[in-house]
Amino acid sequence: MGDRWRKVYPAYDRLSSVYERMNVAMTWGQVDRWRRQLVSLLPRDVERVLDAGCGPGNMTRHLASAGRYVVGLDYSAEMLKALKLDVDKVQGVFEMLPFRDCAFDVAVLAYSLHAARDLERTLAELTRAARGVAAVSMGKPDNPLVARLFGLYVSRFIPALARILAPGHVDEYRALREILEAAAPNRELEALLRRWVELRYFGTRGFGAIYMFYGVRPGRGC
């Protein structure tokens, strides 16, 4: 995302109270269904999980429900304050994870990977700290027409929705446009991922507006 993060990251500190309400509306009620689908991709023997970009804990709840040890990491101190579950919480960024090598069985990113400042550096850190990486996040459709329509959805419809459901936070949701403009099309993203992990699954939802994947680090066992 480059220097665009300077516009995007401060927004997250102000969104904890409306975050899930807007997520539900923006995904037409699918946000939690897609979280559960991502969890279903994880191997049954996963015990140590990094919830990277945990926000107020909406994915953390699913990850911890099976008795796993979960650490929630987020850039935003306000998001971490809103996380009320009994898990360890760490403030940090994807590009410099404060964990030892192979600290986790899997790193999970729910609606957060699209906000990485440096995607390659993020993948390097995730595959250093975890044996596997799983994510569901905002994508960029490969079809040019669909990509254009999704761009209008993000730049026009979502700010209008925020005026109703998150008054006072319209500017923060306008920042999603910065994320989408910086994103690579899903096909290019998949190719990049294959340089860092052996993909066990890669798919899209919502006509390509959302991508989902699970992969493991190749030949570098933990």
Q: Are 132 and 60 in contact (CB under 8 A)?
A: no
Does residue 188 sit within a domain?
Answer: yes
Does residue 150 sit within a domain?
Answer: yes
CATH number at residue 166: 3.40.50.150
Structural domain boundaries, residue 112: 2-216
CA 101/CA 206 separation, integer angstroms: 35
Does residue 85 sit within a domain?
Answer: yes
Does residue 173 sit within a domain?
Answer: yes
Residue 120 CA, chain-centre distance (Å), reads 15
Per-residue pLDDT of the chain in tens (222 residues, 90 and over written 9):
445 445 556 667 778 889 999 999 999 999 999 999 999 999 999 999 999 999 999 999 999 998 999 999 999 999 999 999 999 999 999 999 999 999 999 999 999 999 899 999 999 999 999 999 999 999 999 999 999 999 999 999 999 999 999 999 998 899 889 889 999 999 999 999 999 999 999 999 999 999 999 999 997 567
Does residue 178 sit within a domain?
Answer: yes
Does residue 222 sit within a domain?
Answer: no
The candidate with the shortest Cα–Cα distance to 61, out of 110, 127, 126, is: 110
Split into its structural domains, the chain has a count of: 1
pLDDT at res. 14: 79
Does residue 143 sit within a domain?
Answer: yes
- Taking the model in full, what pTM does it have? 0.94
